[in-house]
């Protein structure tokens, strides 16, 4: 049973007012309001601590402490384990610790958490007391933590709350997890840190279980169809005619897609290709296979620029196929729409214009959506509804962390392409502060003399909040350089945008000053230098995408990320790696999963306990368990699964 809080002993008018102001109305509300941490210890998962937060942890020393002599100050380093996760500790100016600490000691550490290095710069390292008092921290303004804990203890003793179990009993037994009610009280009234960990593990699994359940309900229903009758001989002939050799990972992705085509039901697949890895060619081969089967293909891109580029590439390589370009600027739309309907076009490449109601296909057999996260759920679904069978390929050059992709799409439906063509050289990335911008200008002068193309990117057109915007930087660049400078941003008309881009492309030794409009879809082999101003305002994945506009040939390329701030660790990391998947994991911490997947439900992936990167094992177990349960013959009719069937109610996702 649940009762109102005004009936709980110890809750007077002032306390009741504070609780209600925090949206706590019943005993269940209060018991499910779990501690944010304990004592001064941030023993919640490290992913809940932000970069440069001051935290205090309790952990076991797992490596022998080392003393490292420095020119100015000595430092002691070692690793500790807290809740089965290791983190590096660096203590500057505390050489004496080398005589006090040994491996296996339990220590209390306070210091600044460096998320990108996974380190704590310790200001205090002391041996923990044998019997440490564990005090939950709730963060309810106006109420002492001990008061909240006493209220919950009273609710437990007087049996004033009912917390129903929401996991199958067999799973609790299999994984030795506590009941939900027991887990709640363990978190509020812990006897030890191991008990907190025990309860948290159960809550992590619960979140993973219901995430997977909802995703199963959100996935497109399996539509029966005949296997795709593509002409493999013609496809192989096309591969042999390509002006380059497919990389091994491209071949594997193509094989994944063709295995999907051979199934007796519609399929969907996510193709993740890091910038410059050639995911577009993979989709081209898939499209051609469907064309040889006598069906039509649609490819939707987020910008006219990218749609035009795809149109040019596909038209040049698929010479025996009829391809239409359909965007907001297409002049003879009605004629093209009529030909699409009568199957006079094998493939249609375009933008949002393709989802208009009067765009009808004769037999749409494959939908390809490029940069799928840039489209809303409704837009994607509108195009899919035009298809005879719901076969879909999602493309993204914004790497999604592997675990997140596996969770959202299912492991068997994700193909990853990291490998770059052999002739391409890595882009050298330099992080500089604005006061060293002359280093950049020197390199720009050299590149312009070599008749190479240069991108200069800023976060805004004109803004008092951004020092370097289109307006201010255009003035600075025109003072410094005599070469042509073209400008591209969203306030220009489509015709003006096309003119600026075309002028830039056809004039080697020129500069394009732009906003992030160039993030995708620009492929200029002679583009060798990029400068990104106010780079601290961009996410790592976005910076990586922008950097991908250069280094697309054998020519050496450089990217400069410029910030007015010093010690931007994110930018240092960008300068050290060109692996978009590594960078995406850092970005996931800051941006959240919805940004990566283009999801409209912001709360879909919000967790109190689960970490989508660290808890891959738990996610896999939950996925396996859900699949086993829903494939039981009586799943939808068995009374014991009634609450799970209800929780699977579809909500549009991918």
Q: What is the 3-state secondary structure (H, E, C) of 421-436?
A: CCCCCCCEEEEEEHHH
pLDDT of residue 219: 63
Spatial separation of the C-alpha atoms in residues 208 and 217, rounded to whole Å:
14
C-alpha distances in Å from residue 151, one per residue of 19, 36, 143, 144, 191: 12, 17, 11, 11, 17
Task: Look up the CATH number of the domain holding residue 52.
Answer: 2.40.50.140
Residue 462 CA to residue 203 CA, distance in Å, equals 47
Q: Which two tokens stand for residue 363?
A: 């037999």
Whether 594 is covered by a domain: the verdict is no
556, two tokens:
């050496």
Residue ending a domain, among 391, 417, 443, is 417
d(CA 351, CA 652): 21
Residues ≥6 apart with Cβ < 8 Å to 555:
425, 452, 525, 526, 528
The phi and psi torsions of 136 (rounded to 5 degrees) equal: -65, 150
pLDDT of residue 600: 46
**pLDDT at residue 244, rounded to an integer:** 86
User: Is 294 or 244 the better-scoring residue by pLDDT?
Assistant: 294
For the chain, helix (H) and strand (E) counts, in that order, are: 23, 21
Are 405 and 467 part of one and the same domain?
no
Residues 311 and 195 in one domain: no
Clarify whether residues 143 and 113 are in a common domain: no
pLDDT on residue 447: 96
- Are residue 561 and residue 649 in the same domain, yes or no? no
Per residue in 533-544, pLDDT (tens digit) is: 999 888 888 888
Q: Would you tell me how many other CB atoms lie within 10 Å of the CB of residue 240?
A: 7
CA distance 371 to 150: 52
Per DSSP, 313 falls in state H
Compute the mean pLDDT over every residue in the chain, rounded to the nearest whole number.
Answer: 86
Map residue 416 onto helix, strand or coil: strand
Pairing of the two strands 323-326 and 268-273:
unpaired
Work out the pLDDT band at 464, boundaries 50, 70, 90.
confident
User: Which pLDDT score is estimated for 528?
Assistant: 95
Could you tell me which residues come within 8 angstroms of residue 196 by beta carbon, excluding any fewer than 6 positions away? 38, 43, 134, 186, 187, 190
Q: What is the pLDDT of residue 46?
A: 58
pLDDT at 495: 82
Going by pLDDT thresholds of 50, 70 and 90, the confidence category of residue 590 is low
Q: At which residue do the structure tokens 């719901």 appear? A: 390
Q: Give pLDDT tens digits for 293-302.
A: 999 999 999 8
Q: Tell me what pLDDT residue 349 has.
A: 96
Reduced to 3 states (helix: H, G, I; strand: E, B; else coil), residue 305 is helix
CB atoms within 10 A of CB 308: 20
Residues 343 and 266 in one domain: yes
Does some domain include residue 405? yes
pLDDT band at 654 (very low <50, low <70, confident <90, very high): very low
Q: How far apart are CA 649 and CA 512, in angstroms?
A: 48
Query: Is 502 a domain residue?
Result: yes
The residue written with tokens 């008018």 in the block is 13
- The answer to whether 571 touches 536, Cβ cutoff 8 Å, is yes
Residue written as token pair 């199958």: 168
The predicted structure's pLDDT at residue 47? 56
Dihedrals phi, psi of 602, to nearest 5 degrees = -65, -25
Q: Which among 395, 417, 439 is the end of a domain?
A: 417
- Provide the token pair at 6: 């005004």
Is residue 635 one of the residues assigned to a domain? yes
Choose between 520 and 47: higher pLDDT: 520
- Reply yes or no on whether the pLDDT at 263 is more than 60: yes
pLDDT band at 276 (very low <50, low <70, confident <90, very high): confident
65 and 29 in a common domain: no
pLDDT tens digits, residue range 382-435? 787 888 778 999 888 776 766 677 777 766 688 888 887 777 778 999 999 988
Average pLDDT value for residue range 334-361: 93
The mean-pLDDT minimum among 47-56, 495-504, 523-532, 625-634 falls in 47-56
Q: How far apart are the first and last CA of the chain?
A: 39
Strand 85-92 to 119-127 pairing: parallel
**52-91 pLDDT per residue, tens:** 888 888 889 999 999 998 888 899 999 998 867 889 999 9
Report how far residue 281's alpha carbon sits from residue 470's, in angstroms, rounded to the nearest whole number. Answer: 34
| Residues 368 and 497 both lie in one domain | no
Q: Are residues 140 and 19 in the same domain?
A: yes
Give 615's pLDDT tier (boundaries 50, 70, 90): confident
CATH code, 518: 3.40.50.300
Same structural domain, 340 and 267: yes
The answer to whether the CB of 180 falls within 8 A of the CB of 31 is no
Residue 592 and residue 605 in contact, taking contact as beta carbons nearer than 8 Å = yes
> What DSSP element (H or E) covers 626?
helix 616-630
Task: Look at residue 267 and tell me whether its pLDDT is greater than 60.
Answer: yes
Radius of gyration of the chain from its Cα atoms, rounded to whole angstroms: 29
Give a yes or no: residue 107 inside a domain: yes
Residues 86 and 16 grouped into a single domain:
no
* Residue 161, pLDDT above cutoff 50: yes
pLDDT category at 347 given cuts 50, 70, 90 is: very high
Question: Do 531 and 514 form a contact (C-beta atoms < 8 A)?
Answer: no
What average pLDDT does this structure show over 468-482?
Answer: 93
Select the more confidently predicted residue: 98 or 371. Answer: 98
Confidence of residue 653 (pLDDT cuts 50, 70, 90): very low
In a domain, 554, yes or no: yes
Count: domains in the chain: 5
- More confident position, 494 or 47: 494
pLDDT at residue 336, rounded to an integer: 94
Residue 379 lies in a domain: yes
- Per-residue pLDDT averaged across 147-171, rounded? 93
Query: Domain for residue 609, yes or no?
Result: no
Structure tokens at 552: 């697309």
User: Mean pLDDT over residues 173-188, rounded?
Assistant: 95
Q: 40: how many CB neighbours lie within 10 A of its CB?
A: 13
Q: Are 540 and 627 in a shared domain?
A: no
**Which range of residues forms the domain containing residue 183?**
165-218+619-654
Give me the mean pLDDT over the 466-476 stretch.
90
Tell me the C-alpha distance between 203 and 195, whole Å. Answer: 13
- State whether 303 and 403 are in the same domain: yes
């Amino acid at each position: 049973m649940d009762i109102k809080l005004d009936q709980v002993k110890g809750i007077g008018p002032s306390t009741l007012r504070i609780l209600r102001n925090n949206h706590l109305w019943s005993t269940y509300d209060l018991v499910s309001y779990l501690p944010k941490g304990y004592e001064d210890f941030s023993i919640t998962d490290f992913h809940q601590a932000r970069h440069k937060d001051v935290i205090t942890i309790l952990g076991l020393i797992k490596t022998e402490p080392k003393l490292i002599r420095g020119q100015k100050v000595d430092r002691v380093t070692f690793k500790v384990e807290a809740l089965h996760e290791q983190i590096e500790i660096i203590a500057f100016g505390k050489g004496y610790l080398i005589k006090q600490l040994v491996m296996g000691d339990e220590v209390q550490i306070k210091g600044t958490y460096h998320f990108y290095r996974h380190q704590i710069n310790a200001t205090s390292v002391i041996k923990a007391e044998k019997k440490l008092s564990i005090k939950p921290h709730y963060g309810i303004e106006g109420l002492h933590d001990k008061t909240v804990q006493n209220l919950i203890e009273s609710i437990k003793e007087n049996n004033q709350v009912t917390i129903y179990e929401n996991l199958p009993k067999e799973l609790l037994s299999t994984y030795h997890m506590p009941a939900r009610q027991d887990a709640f009280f363990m978190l509020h009234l812990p006897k030890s840190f191991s008990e907190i960990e025990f309860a948290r593990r159960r809550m992590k699994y619960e979140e993973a279980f219901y995430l997977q359940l909802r995703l199963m309900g959100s996935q497109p229903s399996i539509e029966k169809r005949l296997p795709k009758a593509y002409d493999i001989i013609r496809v192989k002939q096309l591969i042999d005619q390509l002006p380059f050799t497919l990389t091994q990972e491209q071949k594997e992705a193509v094989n994944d897609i063709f295995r999907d085509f051979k199934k007796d039901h519609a399929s969907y697949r996510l193709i993740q290709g890091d910038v410059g890895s050639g995911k577009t060619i993979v989709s081209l081969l898939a499209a051609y296979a469907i064309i040889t089967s006598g069906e039509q293909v649609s490819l939707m891109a987020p910008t006219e620029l990218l749609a035009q580029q795809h149109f040019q590439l596909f038209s040049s390589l698929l010479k025996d196929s009829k391809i239409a370009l359909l965007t907001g600027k297409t002049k003879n739309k009605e004629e093209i729409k009529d030909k699409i309907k009568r199957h006079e076009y094998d493939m249609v490449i375009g933008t949002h214009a393709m989802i208009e109601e009067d765009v009808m296909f004769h037999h749409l057999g494959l939908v390809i959506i490029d940069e799928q996260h840039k489209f809303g759920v409704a837009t994607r679904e509108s195009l899919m509804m035009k298809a005879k069978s719901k076969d879909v390929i999602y493309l993204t050059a914004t790497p999604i962390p592997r675990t997140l992709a596996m969770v959202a799409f299912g492991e068997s439906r994700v193909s990853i392409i990291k490998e770059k063509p052999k002739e391409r050289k890595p882009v050298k990335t330099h992080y500089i502060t604005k006061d060293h911008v002359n280093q950049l200008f020197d390199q720009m002068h050299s590149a312009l003399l070599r008749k190479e193309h240069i991108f200069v990117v800023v976060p805004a057109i004109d803004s008092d909040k951004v020092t370097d915007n289109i307006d201010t930087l255009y003035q600075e660049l025109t003072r410094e350089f005599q070469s042509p400078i073209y400008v591209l941003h969203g306030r220009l008309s489509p015709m003006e945008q096309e003119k600026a881009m075309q002028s830039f492309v056809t004039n080697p030794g020129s500069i394009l000053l732009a906003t992030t409009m160039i993030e995708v879809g620009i492929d200029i082999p002679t583009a060798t230098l990029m400068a990104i101003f106010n780079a601290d305002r961009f996410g790592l994945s976005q910076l990586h995408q922008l950097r991908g506009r250069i280094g697309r040939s054998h020519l050496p390329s450089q990217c400069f990320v410029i910030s007015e701030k010093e010690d931007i660790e994110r930018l240092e990391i960008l300068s050290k790696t060109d692996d978009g998947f590594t960078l995406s994991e850092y970005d996931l911490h800051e941006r959240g999963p919805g940004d990566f997947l283009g999801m409209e439900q912001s709360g879909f992936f919000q967790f109190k306990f689960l970490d989508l990167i660290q808890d891959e094992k738990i996610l896999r177990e939950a996925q396996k368990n859900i699949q086993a349960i829903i494939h039981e013959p009586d799943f939808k009719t068995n009374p014991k699964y009634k609450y799970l069937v209800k929780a699977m109610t579809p909500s549009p996702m991918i």
